[in-house]
Amino acid sequence: MYDIIVAGGGHAGCEAALAAARTGMSCLLISSDLSALARMSCNPAIGGVAKGQITREIDALGGEMGKAIDNTGIQFRMLNTSKGPAMRSPRAQADRTRYSLYMRRVIELERNIDLLQDTVTAIHVSCGKADGVYISTGTRICSKAVILTCGTFLNGLIHIGMTHYPGGRTIAEPPVLGLTENLADLGFRYGRLKTGTPPRIDKRSVDYTRVEEQYGDPDPVPFSFSTGSLSSINQLSCYLTRTTPETHAILRTGFDRSPLFTGKVQGTGPRYCPSIEDKINRFSHKDNHHIFLEPEGYDTNEMYVNGFSTSLPEDIQRNALQTIPGLEEVRIIRPGYAIEYDYFFPYQIGRTLETKIIDNLYFAGQINGTSGYEEAAAQGLMAGLNASLKLRNRDPLLLKRSDAYIGVLIDDLITKETDEPYRMFTSSAEHRLHLRHDNADLRLSKSGHDAGLISDSAMYACSRKSDAIEQVRNAASSFSFSPDLINDHLAMHGIQKIKSSLSASTLLKRHGIHFSLLFGCSPVFKEMIFRFSSDPLVFEQVEIDIKYEGYLKRDMLLSERISRMESLHIPQAFSFESVHGLSSEGREKLSKHRPETIGQASRILGVSPADISVLMVKLGR
């Protein structure tokens, strides 16, 4: 008898097992291949736009993904540095093999986790509650709760050209058979989705004189708030190239053997990560698309061709790749392929990720129709944590949309129709200025501590940081700079001079003024501030809060408006097609779903906060 059984050893399964075990639950993690725990079956990277925020939130709540990538990353970059803080997102290339080994080592060191290499084929239910699983041998294993994190394994089918065969995640892995049918017999409704991956190539066959080298950041920002400096790591370069009109012409010759265009693939693919054949078909006016060449680790010649996901025949893949600058002599190690798999409509789960039909049964990851390692890991963490809290007779952890990207993710899943793989974007979060990667610890560490995942010492450090931010901000408000004290420094930096004394906080609202400039103007101010903190991260938080104070207040007003949206009705005959200012996707989704209220419209996947603002203005008129 275990407290919790986790079926599946991907990113969701690993986080679920660790969260449950670290909060005192005895846990059994079942995977068909224990050498592939947390395997990066597609892109060997963690983070990116919105996904980087999720990864830092996972860390702030006590999850492992941030620590894993900090320990196994081979290149770190902060994206969107030219934009505001809400848009900046950390991203890192991982050593694919070392990442999986790291996660297995962490799991094996956790005393409350047992491992079993097998496949779950059915759930055992008694009196409406899940109380165990059946594995492939027919053996029943008992538990108090079950978490399913099946990824793309459920009745998985791999496609390469007109050839297709059963597969679970990669070409060499078998699918999970029988579990979908078992769940359907229990009353669950399911659908079919599709995802894909590009070919892997031998990096020795690339002509590096014809591609653009991309370097990592000289001073990388870690994902985990507990990680020190990463400046000493040996970062590997990535490379940028592009497809050509000849590439597109060759790819089109394979359309008659494409499982995507001939109807072999029945599942819906991801809108925002289309295959290369889908891109040149949908965007026929474009004569090139970016291709990123990304190394898969320190000890391998394998390279990931980001932007060239495909299920076309292998000969078409090879011929097309060889028309891309730098890849004229390319050698393919593994061809690209598409995989179809079953998922369960996520309206069948609640905010804790427990299913509505069967008590003590939780779904997390791609079984809920999501895509991406980060979205899966976040769901696994929340499912494992909430299953543990329930078994301990404690209140669940329910994150609101204004609390975290994870809260946005779960709310979207349970309120919106998921008919394509769900992917998180910053535009999905109406409170994104508040939900930044840099303040995830301040937002969520207390929740992680209360649930039992964040240690007392880590919570104490976070509390001290929060206190220091408040003290530094108060000090900045109380210290004034006279024109004589600062104008020469402002002129040196090309900043307009001041005519009367202004407080440091008022000055910090100006573009180009930072604490470092003010410290250079006044050693007295520097000494005053350093009595409270000398941490650059504290100064960063204070600067963001001051510079964006007006926007943050407006964000709070937006939050209040959204809470009133449920009472704002949309006329039944309202024509969304006639509304100028709506995004193309927003107009499409609104016309399809026909929401009855603004509140419902705001939760439709693909309808942005900007679309809602346009609608409210139109309806007001």
Taking the domains of the chain in order of start, what are their residue ranges?
A: 2-42+109-190+340-434, 200-338, 463-552, 573-620
Q: Does the domain formed by 573-620 have CATH 3.90.400.10?
A: no
Residue 604 has pLDDT above 80, yes or no: no
Q: At what angle do helices 51-61 and 405-415 cross, to 10 degrees?
A: 110
Q: Are strands 361-363 and 140-148 parallel, antiparallel or unpaired?
A: parallel
Residue 69 has pLDDT above 90, yes or no: yes
Q: Which CATH architecture has domain 2-42+109-190+340-434?
A: 3-Layer(bba) Sandwich (3.50)
Residue 491 has pLDDT above 70, yes or no: yes
Q: Which CATH architecture has domain 200-338?
A: Beta Barrel (2.40)
In which band, very low, low, confident or very high, does the pLDDT at 555 lie, cut at 50, 70 and 90?
confident
Residue whose token pair is 């180009």: 512
**Joined tokens for residue 429:** 């979060």
Reduce the DSSP state of residue 94 to 3 states and report it: strand
Please state the pTM of the whole predicted model.
Answer: 0.90
> For 77-94, what is the mean pLDDT?
94
pLDDT tens, residue by residue, 219-246:
999 999 999 999 899 999 999 999 999 9
Angle at 261 between CA 260 and CA 266, to 5 degrees: 50
In which band, very low, low, confident or very high, does the pLDDT at 593 lie, cut at 50, 70 and 90?
low
> For 108-126, what is the mean pLDDT?
97
Give the model's pLDDT for residue 473. 96
Query: Closest Cα partner for 37 from 101, 95, 116?
Result: 101
In which band, very low, low, confident or very high, does the pLDDT at 267 lie, cut at 50, 70 and 90?
confident
Give the model's pLDDT for residue 397. 96
Tell me the longest C-alpha to C-alpha distance in the chain.
83
Q: Are strands 157-160 and 337-344 parallel, antiparallel or unpaired?
A: antiparallel
AA identity, residue 569? H
Query: Closest Cα partner for 100 from 9, 233, 18, 169?
Result: 9
Residue 566 has pLDDT above 60, yes or no: no
Exposed/middle/buried for residue 573 (C-beta within 10 Å: 0-12, 13-18, 19+): exposed
**Joined tokens for residue 389:** 């809290």
**Distance between CA atoms of residues 247 and 321, nearest Å:** 7
Residues 6+ apart with CB under 8 A from 97: 296, 297, 299, 300
Residue 393 has pLDDT above 60, yes or no: yes
What is the chain's percent helix, strand, coil content, to nearest 5? 40, 20, 40
Give the model's pLDDT for residue 617. 86
Give the model's pLDDT for residue 172. 81
Reduce the DSSP state of residue 569 to 3 states and report it: strand
In which band, very low, low, confident or very high, does the pLDDT at 55 lie, cut at 50, 70 and 90?
very high
- The Cβ of residue 554 has, within 10 Å, a number of other Cβ atoms equal to 12
With beta carbons less than 8 A apart as the criterion, state whether 265 and 338 touch: yes
- Cite the DSSP H helix spans in 210-291: 245-252, 276-282
Residue 367 has pLDDT above 90, yes or no: yes
In which band, very low, low, confident or very high, does the pLDDT at 600 lie, cut at 50, 70 and 90?
low
In which band, very low, low, confident or very high, does the pLDDT at 599 lie, cut at 50, 70 and 90?
confident
Give the model's pLDDT for residue 271. 77
Give the model's pLDDT for residue 613. 86
**Distance between CA atoms of residues 220 and 233, nearest Å:** 9
Number of helical H runs and strand E runs in the chain: 21, 22
Q: Which CATH architecture has domain 463-552?
A: Orthogonal Bundle (1.10)
With beta carbons less than 8 A apart as the criterion, state whether 263 and 238 touch: no
